């Protein structure tokens, strides 16, 4: 928005709730991007787990698929003239219609590190249970032209289940039959009986033991 809409002008960008008291104190051209709703997109919920690999490429654990959430923003323009507000809304609508997904180079922090795409929708009809007029009523302000901007983002709760420790050496078998104890180490693959283990025979233990 700063690049394609504001483009060096003195328009301010804020994330405040556009209440009646707030709007009465505005004295400079402003674009307000107010986050008013957060809810999970149940249609995108996926079962299953993702393998987590270490630097050596081995699996170190697993984590469940991330939940996908819709972050809804009320985008409004505030100037002294309605015509200027309409022009800003038009420029913002065109800005978000150009891309259906936020480019990776625009992301920062955890959003950039996890590699998940962030989809964008603009000016779609809101769900039946969430009318924008109700949002304005809750804010205590008068209804104003606005854009409904929705960012769809996966959120990873950082739930991690470690994998079992990798055993690199051959296993040891401890046999105890008839009071005689012996420890045998499995042979490398290709030795012994051809199945990777040394075949050892022992008498059966006495009855009842």
3-class DSSP assignment, residue 31: strand
Say whether pLDDT at 137 is over 50.
yes
* Same-domain check for residues 104 and 188: no
Contacts 24+ apart (CB under 8 A), 108-111: 111/153
Q: Decide the pairing of beta strands 172-177 and 180-185.
A: antiparallel
Distance separating alpha carbons of residues 166 and 164, to the nearest angstrom? 6
Express each pLDDT in 82-100 by its tens digit: 999 999 999 999 999 988 8
Whether residue 73 is predicted with pLDDT greater than 70 in this model: the reply is yes
Tokens representing 127 are 């769900």
Segment 130-157 mean pLDDT: 85
The whole-number pLDDT of residue 51 equals: 64
Q: How many domains does the chain have?
A: 2
* pLDDT tens digits along 16-37: 999 989 998 988 999 999 999 9
Which CATH number is 110's domain given?
A: 3.30.2000
Residue 174 and residue 182: Cα distance in Å, rounded?
Answer: 6
Instruction: Choose between 171 and 77: higher pLDDT.
Output: 77
Looking at 162, 177, 200, the residue that finishes a domain is 162
200 & 151 share domain: no
| Whole-number pLDDT of residue 35 | 95
For residue 204, give Cα distances in angstroms to 56, 184, 188, 197, 207.
Answer: 45, 17, 27, 20, 9
Average pLDDT for 194-206: 46
Q: Are residues 69 and 92 in the same domain?
A: yes
Same domain, 32 and 111: yes
Pair (95, 36) in one structural domain: yes
**CB of 9 within 8 A of CB of 84?**
no
Picking from 42-46, 52-56, 107-111, 142-146, which range would have the lowest pLDDT averaged per residue? Answer: 52-56
Do 102 and 146 reside in the same domain of the chain? Answer: yes
Residue 207 has pLDDT above 70, yes or no: no
Residue 144: count of CB within 10 angstroms of its CB: 17
Whether residues 117 and 70 share a domain: the answer is yes
Q: Please indicate, yes or no, whether residues 11 and 97 belong to a single structural domain of this protein.
A: yes
| Nearest-5° Cα angle at 64, 63 to 69 | 125
pTM of structure = 0.68
Mean pLDDT across the chain, nearest whole number?
A: 78
d(CA 89, CA 41): 27
Rounded CA-CA distance 161/62 in Å is 5
What residue numbers bound the domain in which 76 lies? 2-162
């Amino acid at each position: 928005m700063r690049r394609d809409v504001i483009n060096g002008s003195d328009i301010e960008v804020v994330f405040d709730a556009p209440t009646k008291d707030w709007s009465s104190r505005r004295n400079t051209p402003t674009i307000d991007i107010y986050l008013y709703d957060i809810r999970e997109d149940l249609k995108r919920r996926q079962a299953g787990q993702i393998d987590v690999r270490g630097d050596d490429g081995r699996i170190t654990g697993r984590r469940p698929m991330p939940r996908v959430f819709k972050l809804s923003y009320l985008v409004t323009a505030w100037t002294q003239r309605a015509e200027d507000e309409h022009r800003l809304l038009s420029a913002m609508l065109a800005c978000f219609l150009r891309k259906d997904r936020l480019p990776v180079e625009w992301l920062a922090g955890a959003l950039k590190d996890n590699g998940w795409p962030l989809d964008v929708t603009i000016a779609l009809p809101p769900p039946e249970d969430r009318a924008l007029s109700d949002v304005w009523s809750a804010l205590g302000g008068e209804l104003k032209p606005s854009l409904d901007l929705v960012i769809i983002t996966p959120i990873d709760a950082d739930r991690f289940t470690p994998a079992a420790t990798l055993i690199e050496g051959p296993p040891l078998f401890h046999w105890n039959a008839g009071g005689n104890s012996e420890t045998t180490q499995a042979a490398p693959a290709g030795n012994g009986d051809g199945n990777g283990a040394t075949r050892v025979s022992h008498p059966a233990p006495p009855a009842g033991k």
